[in-house]
Amino acid sequence: MDIDTQMMLMGLLLAAFVSPVIAGEWRASVVRSLDALVSSCVVIPCSFTHPEGNLPTSRLRGIWHISNQRDQCIYHEDNTLVLDNFKGRTKLLGHLGQSNCTLEIIEIKDHDSGPFCFRIELRPKETGTLEKFSFVEQCVDLKMLPDPPKLKLTHLKPAVQGHPFVLTCTVLHTCPSRAPKLTWSRGTADGIAEVNREIHAGNWEMQSILTFIPEDEDDHSDVTCTSTFNGGRTSSETLTLYVKREENYNHIIIPTVVGIGTAVIFAFFCLFMVKKYKARIAELQSQDGNVWNRLSRLSHRIRSNGPGPSQSEQRQDNVYFGLFLQVPGDVNSKSSCSNQKVSKPRFPSPKRWPSLNICDNTDLTLLQGFDDGDDYMNTEDLNVYGNL
């Protein structure tokens, strides 16, 4: 076999090997399954690749049709070719020139289950044959939801009085182009933040974050989050707040401070009074000691019939006890003194002191006495006794 024949055979083999590879480079990526809320909307993410490099959107035509029924179009740029029950309800959200074939379906009916497949057509530059690529192996099935999905209310920390409290409301959906609206039963727009993010292909999560400062009156109150979907369907969730009062020790500190303060003030008052009347207290204590010492001394002398106090001691006793005696005559005289008038203050009991014998000529004058219960003392021949 000559060289030319060998080169021809190798070229044919290479062409046979490369042709299917080139043809297989037109690929589409479509999510396989999605939830769709009846009467709401759904967005089917779709993308494709091709070997032609950058192609203008004007040369590309995207078509969505029912699986294995290419003539049953649910979307076509020529609206006359669209099935009647899909007219006005479908449109492409992406640009084909950017390899985006995402489809939006609104006003979902309970029979819009699919499966739906994507096909693309490439127009020639000038003249030539229209190229068509169908991706029947990459189709989507829609699962109809008769009721809106439930919301979820979460919070990281418990509600504490006077501290910011963050409450998050979350709902899942499959229509980011017409995302559900979340509203709160309380709070203002300044304290609300919203986040709409894709958690995986075709499935989205809408979050509304409410921040407020709970007070004591918010305890056991309800906070409700409501989601309104495209088409008017709603879903809501309620959380009961349990507000924890801020921990403080005022009920312990205040009484303690008041008690300590009162004790300190009373102590200062006592010190002030002692300092102010210290000299007077010492004087009174000294006088009390002298009085009782003299009482004890005189009592001992009278009971033992010993000699009476001296004249100077008598004068001192008269000064201390308020008793002054004038005896002009003989104190030992036995004459009668029945006519002598004596003032009669209250005296101690006669059982305590011996009887008193007073001479007739004695002029007894009691100038000053003690209060009830005080003892009276006489000198030498005078015996102190009880009430006359």
Contacts of 108 (CB under 8 A, 6+ apart): 36, 37, 38, 39, 40, 41, 42, 142, 144, 231
Contacts of 109 (CB under 8 A, 6+ apart): 38, 85
CATH class (in words) of the domain with range 24-145: mainly beta
pLDDT attached to residue 355: 46
The band of 377, judged by pLDDT with boundaries at 50, 70 and 90, is very low
User: Is the domain 152-241 a CATH 3.30.360.10 member?
Assistant: no
The band of 47, judged by pLDDT with boundaries at 50, 70 and 90, is very high
Q: Is the pLDDT of residue 67 over 90?
A: no
pLDDT attached to residue 289: 57
Give the residue extent of every domain in the chain: 24-145, 152-241
Fold agreement between 24-145 and 152-241: yes
Integer Cα distance of 4 and 135 in angstroms:
41
**Alpha-carbon distances of 382 from 74, 116, 356, 358, rounded to whole Å:** 145, 142, 6, 7
pLDDT attached to residue 253: 80
pLDDT attached to residue 43: 96
Q: Which of 154-158, 256-260, 317-321 has the lowest average pLDDT?
A: 317-321
What element of type H or E holds 76? none
CB-based contact 324:318 (threshold 8 Å): yes
Integer Cα distance of 317 and 206 in angstroms:
108
Mean pLDDT of the chain: 76
What is 285-309 written as a DSSP string? HHHHHHHHHHHHHHHHHHHTT----
pLDDT tens string 277-307: 777 777 776 765 565 666 666 666 666 555 5
